[in-house]
Amino acid sequence: AQTVTQSQPEMSVQEAETVTLSCTYDTSENNYYLFWYKQPPSRQMILVIRQEAYKQQNATENRFSVNFQKAAKSFSLKISDSQLGDTAMYFCAFMKPTGTASKLTFGTGTRLQVTL
Amino acid sequence: KAGVTQTPRYLIKTRGQQVTLSCSPISGHRSVSWYQQTPGQGLQFLFEYFSETQRNKGNFPGRFSGRQFSNSRSEMNVSTLELGDSALYLCASSYGTVANEQFFGPGTRLTVL
């Protein structure tokens, strides 16, 4: 079974600064997908960024980028120019392409607080 | 497009009762997945339905069941409620092909007294 570990329960960053959230995972699969989801307070969970394991290039989405280290099974999220609206729980998630099933395995989350 | 909707948003039940939660996916999405979110266990996968068939199942007791209708709307049922079933239940919809982006609903907050 796959496991996803987020070792930082809470983090704080000042507005406009950069912060990196850590995620490690354990799997015997060679092909899989990794995601970062954001869950703002009392709001819906939304996808921040995704990475296909077979792609060596790190994914980026505007201010969000990942550092994907397949051999180390590490998948960290970097948020640049942090904004107050980035305050949320961030979940790292794993999905293996078993047929076409869509099961996500989530980490325990990191609560990010962006301060003035 | 309208997003994923879940009803009801809040629910209070007592132990031993049963409950049915509903999820309407984004138009055109054929896959609906259900997750339980609790402070202690985090986000755990319950099951996924695709074209009215359960295609994947998590490690939950048989008290948790679901179904999907021909219009892709899904319901989740929990029978003989226990205090530990108190949680935020999230559903997510997608087109259902490999690693499609899943769009989450706002969740149903279930409290069992």
| CB contact (8 A) between residue A103 and residue B56 | yes
Confirm if A93 and A112 have CB atoms less than 8 A apart. Answer: no
The alpha carbon dihedral of B30, B57, B42, A20 has a sign of: negative
> Which band of pLDDT confidence, cut at 50, 70 and 90, is reported for residue A43?
confident
How many CB contacts within 8 angstroms connect chain A with chain B? 63
Model pLDDT, residue B5: 97
Q: How far apart are CA B29 and CA B56, in angstroms?
A: 17
Q: Which residue has the higher pLDDT, B101 or B76?
A: B76
Tell whether B89 is within 8 A of chain A (Cβ): no
| CB contact (8 A) between residue A102 and residue B100 | yes
| CB contact (8 A) between residue A44 and residue B3 | yes
Tell whether B64 is within 8 A of chain A (Cβ): no
Going by the DSSP 8-state scheme, the letter that residue A15 receives in this structure is: T
Q: Which of A43, A101, A107 sits opposite B55 (nearest CB)?
A: A101
Going by the DSSP 8-state scheme, the letter that residue A110 receives in this structure is: E
Q: Is the pLDDT of residue A1 over 90?
A: no
Per-residue pLDDT tens over the stretch A62-85: 999 999 999 999 999 999 999 999
| CB contact (8 A) between residue B42 and residue A103 | no
Per-residue pLDDT tens over the stretch B20-30: 999 999 999 99
Query: Residue B88: closest CA among chain A residues belongs to which residue?
Result: A42
